[in-house]
Structure 1
Amino acid sequence: MSTIVGCIGAGNIVKALLAGVEKSGVYFPNRIGIFDVSQKVCDDFREKGYTVFSSIDDLVKSARVVVVAVTPQVIDSIMQQIKNALSADTIFLSLAAGVSIKWYQEQLGKDCKVIRCMPTLTAQVGLGAFAVSRAETVADDDYKAVECFLSSCGIVEEIPESLMCEVVPINGSAPAYFYHMTRVILKEAVHMGFDEDTALRLFAQTMKGSAEMLLNSGMSAEMLEDKLRLKGGTTLAALDKMDELGFDRCLTEGIKACVSRCKELGNL
């Protein structure tokens, strides 16, 4: 096989994933294949040294690991091309939200090897958080090939397939919640008189440190929050107002909506 990994579709999430992989230095771009319907996207990847294919069939025949990175609305239309080219060694890494392992096996045969993955845009800076679930047909060596690829730009957590939609608001969609909150805070900071770039650096660094403390301080989120909830203090005033306006309910309902939409997308 001329490539190790081949990507069907090269939109934002694949661009982020491959940017992180490239930074790691673990894989050379010429060992990664690209197929996309956009000529501009193909040209851009070719210029960076990636191997660009003119058909899905050729890409699937060339790669051991095939990343399926098209939307659920499109995926059905490419299955026949994939089926014509796959071999017993082909491992599919599916990034399509909501699309089950069972569906792939109905389209490609019960013995096909499928690993579902919910990626994150943060892979672009080597800080991805990948939730994966594998079919019973995926042997340990097959899984390790995929894990090696993903872990070059983030952490990999294996979870039951029954939670692959429930994980979307925890990792896949979560960066957007943070970015949205950042937009609100920066807007208010500017209104109060701050330079936007200064406010951004202060807030982003604080969030970066907060995440590090969650992972490495040995304290729970509740314990860390309690350290700041001082009676009569500024933080408590802010949190009380957020509680009054239903902040927790907004987050909870958003999570439920995210999961529900993922399940809808999987109804092919």
Structure 2
Amino acid sequence: MSETLALVGAGVMGQTLLGGLLRAGRDPGSVVVVDRRSGRGEELHERFGVRVVDDVTETAAAATVVLAVKPQDMGDLLDSLAGHLAPDALVVSLAAGITTAFCEARLRPGTAVVRVMPNTPSLVDEGMAGLAPGSSCSEEDLALAEQLLRSCGRTAVLAEKHLDAVTALSGSGPAYVFYVVEAMVEAGVLLGLPRATATELVVQTVVGAGAMLRETGQHPTVLREQVTSPAGTTAAALRQLDESGVRAAMVSAVEAAWTRSRQLSGS
């Protein structure tokens, strides 16, 4: 079998993964994109240099088939793919809430399936993806899926029962950070700073704090305490956050996302 990769669906996450793969050195000639939207083929070919088709039968020669379509479209897609996949093809699903069992039930028995929960920082090669292997997935299959996702970030392999928590933490997580950044920028404007300056201050602060967490390996509590002088400005701010219940609200928010993820996946 050739080492062709077929990407079915070229929306935001599909294009994000495709861009990461090409930046990591994959030959555009080894990739075929299946996208049925009118007029998309020429645009995608010009941008990425890959072959674009509108027929799922073109996945027949692919060693790996990545499914990056909306969850509501997965059932029909899997049914149409079932008779065309190569016998030992690896199927990687990026569709939120779609279980490996759902995919396996619609594909040829023994098909290797890996379920992935990526996130949007993959767009700048700083993504975090949780991966869960299906019942017929070998260690080699899983390693291949990890290699694909590492082209645009980091990966963590977990039992599938944990993917709802992954969705709540890292899948939805960028929105929580953006939400806090919005609030901090508004505070800067309230205090008289130009919006552009407030935005630059906050964004670089968030980037720098994240880099400290990653590079020092220290617990966030230790790093927080290093910033917090007794009776100082940071202590006053943190006291207000605690009195407003921000920590408890964040825990509740993540739990709410987890609950909704379980509902969507039928857990």
The verdict on a shared fold, with TM-score over 0.5 as the criterion, is: yes
Offset, 1:2: 6.3
1:110–1:237 CA distance, 2 compared to 1 (3 A): farther
Q: What displacement does 1:109 show?
A: 3.7
CA distance in 1: counterparts of 2:141 and 2:217, whole angstroms: 34
2:81 equivalent to 1:82? yes
Q: Does 1:162 align with 2:161?
A: yes
User: After superposition, where does 1:123-202 map in structure 2 within 5 Å?
Assistant: 123-202=122-201
Instruction: Kindly state the Cα deviation for residue 40 of structure 1 after the two structures are TM-superposed.
Output: 4.1
One-letter amino acid of the counterpart of residue 144, structure 1: A
- 2:15 is matched with 15
How far 1:257 sits from its partner (Å)? 1.6
For 1:18-29, list aligned pairs within 5 A. 18-24=18-24, 26-29=25-28
CA contact (8 A) 1:67 1:93 kept: yes
1:179 aligned partner, one-letter code: F
CA displacement at 1:199 relative to structure 2: 2.3
Letter in 1 for 2:220: A
1:245-256 to 2 correspondences below 5 Å? 245-256=244-255
Return the structure number with greater relative CO, CA threshold 8 A, min gap 6: 1
Aligned residues with identical type, % of pairs: 27
> 1:94 maps to what in 2?
93
How far apart are residue 216 of structure 1 and its match? 2.2
1:250 and 1:38 map into 2 onto residues whose CA distance is 41
TM (norm. structure 2) is 0.91
* Deviation, structure 1 residue 52: 0.6
Structure 1 distance, partners of 2:40, 2:180, is 31
For residue 202 of structure 2, what is the aligned residue in structure 1? Answer: 203
The residue identity in structure 2 corresponding to 1:55 is D
Question: What is the alpha-carbon distance in structure 2 between the residues aligned to residue 117 and residue 72 of structure 1?
Answer: 13
**Aligned equivalents of 1:72, 1:264: Cα separation in 2:** 13
* Other-structure match for 2:238: 239
1:3 positional shift: 6.2
SS in 1 for 2:164: coil
Pairwise CA distance, 1:68: 1.1
Could you report, residue by residue, the CA deviation over 1:74-108 in whole angstroms, capped at 9, with x for unpaired residues? 21121211102112221111111121111211121
> TM-score, normalised to structure 1's length?
0.91
Q: Deviations over 1:232-262 (max 9, x none)?
A: 1111211111111221122112111211221
1:210 and 1:132, CA in 2 relative to 1: closer, same or farther beyond 3 A?
same
C-alpha distance in 1 between matches for 2:65 and 2:163 = 19
C-alpha distance in structure 2 between counterparts of 1:47 and 1:109, whole Å:
35
Partner in structure 2 of residue 219 of structure 1 = 218
**For residues 201 and 16 of structure 1, what CA distance do their matches in structure 2 show?**
25
How many residues get paired? 266
Q: Secondary structure at the match of 2:4?
A: strand
Separation (CA, whole Å) in 2 of partners of 1:220 and 1:134 = 30
In 2, Cα distance between equivalents of 1:145 and 1:218: 28
